[in-house]
């Protein structure tokens, strides 16, 4: 599946939160969606998923080998959207005592052929495989409210993997994880794009993680897509100061990927 966003606009209480956002994503592409808090990143994902309705613009999709000419979400049912788009939200709280294995299995809901028949052996196998991928098998019978924040986030990612969407949308999916597990998730998403030709669009705050793993960086500020391009093209000192309002030192590693070091302001204190 390919995605094309054309002049997407969204307002709330007369405030324009997204301003003519346009870009396209192709199968096998890992894109990082970056920008300051409140710049519109999560709002954009909610428009893609149909949780919010754009005021103007188009969200287009196409299956592999076809031009992007079908409008989304108008021509997709909620079930079809759930089949095509896997989503990890910014935060998730579970008051109900679902177990980890039950949550992972919920990723198969869009694929049920018959709700009365329930999950198939294949569904259960895919949910189990997703838990194994996230290292959650020992926690399979633990209820969600008993998990730590990091364990909860990994369980939500397992549900996303079990869903098997063509497009994976991550809203700060690594924010609750330690560095080791954050890298593990980014490596996994990199593998999804290179081996399975998934599209991954990840909202991130860590510029260096984005630089290391993403093919393309999209930088949003005040609802406007200010910059987009390869990490080495857009993660520059001038761009970072423009978008984030801070001074930084940008260096390049042995692969030519930039890494960002914030500069502490001089003080007499």
* pLDDT of 223 strictly over 90: yes
From the list 13, 11, 24, the residue with the least C-alpha distance to 54 is: 11
Tokens representing residue 251 in the block:
């260096």
- Which pairing describes strands 248-252 and 258-262: parallel, antiparallel, or unpaired? antiparallel
* pLDDT of 74 strictly over 50: no
Read off the pTM.
Answer: 0.90
The count of other CB atoms within 10 Å of the CB of residue 182 is 19
pLDDT score at 83 = 86
pLDDT score at 73 = 43
pLDDT score at 1 = 75
Lowest mean pLDDT among 70-74, 96-100, 146-150: 70-74
Contact 163, 86 (CB under 8 A): yes
Q: Read out DSSP for 106-135?
A: HTTGGG-S-TTT---HHHHHHHHHHHHHTT
- CA 160 vs. chain centroid, Å, equals 10
Strand ranges (E), the chain: 2-12, 15-25, 30-34, 56-62, 70-72, 85-88, 167-171, 199-203, 216-221, 224-229, 248-252, 258-262
pLDDT score at 114 = 76
What are the structural domain ranges in the chain?
2-262
Contact 39, 220 (CB under 8 A): yes
pLDDT tens for residues 165-213?
999 999 999 887 889 999 999 999 999 999 999 999 999 999 999 999 9
Dihedral angle, C-alpha 110, 116, 117, 118, nearest 10 °? 50
Q: State which fold the 2-262 domain adopts.
A: Rossmann fold (3.40.50)
Q: Under 8 Å CB-to-CB from 196, ≥6 apart: which residues?
A: none
- Which pairing describes strands 56-62 and 70-72: parallel, antiparallel, or unpaired? antiparallel
Q: What is the DSSP letter of 146?
A: G
Q: Is 97 helix (H, G, I), strand (E, B) or coil?
A: coil
Contact 76, 65 (CB under 8 A): no
Partner residues linked to 260 by β-bridges: 250
């Amino acid at each position: 599946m390919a995605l094309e966003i054309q002049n997407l606009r969204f307002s709330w209480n007369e405030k324009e939160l997204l301003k003519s956002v346009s870009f396209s994503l192709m199968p096998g592409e890992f894109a990082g969606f970056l920008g300051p808090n409140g710049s519109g990143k999560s709002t954009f994902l909610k428009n893609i998923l149909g949780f919010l309705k754009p005021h103007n613009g188009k969200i287009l999709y196409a299956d592999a080998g076809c031009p992007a000419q079908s409008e989304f979400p108008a021509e997709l049912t909620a079930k079809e959207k759930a089949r095509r788009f896997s989503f990890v939200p910014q935060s998730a709280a579970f008051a109900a005592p679902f177990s980890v294995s039950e949550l992972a299995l919920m990723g198969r809901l869009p694929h049920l052929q018959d709700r009365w028949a329930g999950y198939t052996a294949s569904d259960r196998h895919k949910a189990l495989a997703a838990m194994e991928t996230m290292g959650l098998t020992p926690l399979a019978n633990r209820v969600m409210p008993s998990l730590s924040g990091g364990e909860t986030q990994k369980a939500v990612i397992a549900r996303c993997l079990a869903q098997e969407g063509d497009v994976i949308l991550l809203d700060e999916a690594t924010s609750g994880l330690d560095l080791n597990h954050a890298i593990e998730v980014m490596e996994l998403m990199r593998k999804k794009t290179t081996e399975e030709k998934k599209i991954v669009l990840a909202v991130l705050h860590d510029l260096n993680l984005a630089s290391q793993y993403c093919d393309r960086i999209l930088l949003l500020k005040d609802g406007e897509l200010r910059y987009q391009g390869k990490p080495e093209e857009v993660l520059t000192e001038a761009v970072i100061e423009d978008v984030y309002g801070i001074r930084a030192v940008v260096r390049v590693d042995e692969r030519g990927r930039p890494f960002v070091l914030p500069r502490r302001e001089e003080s007499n204190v």
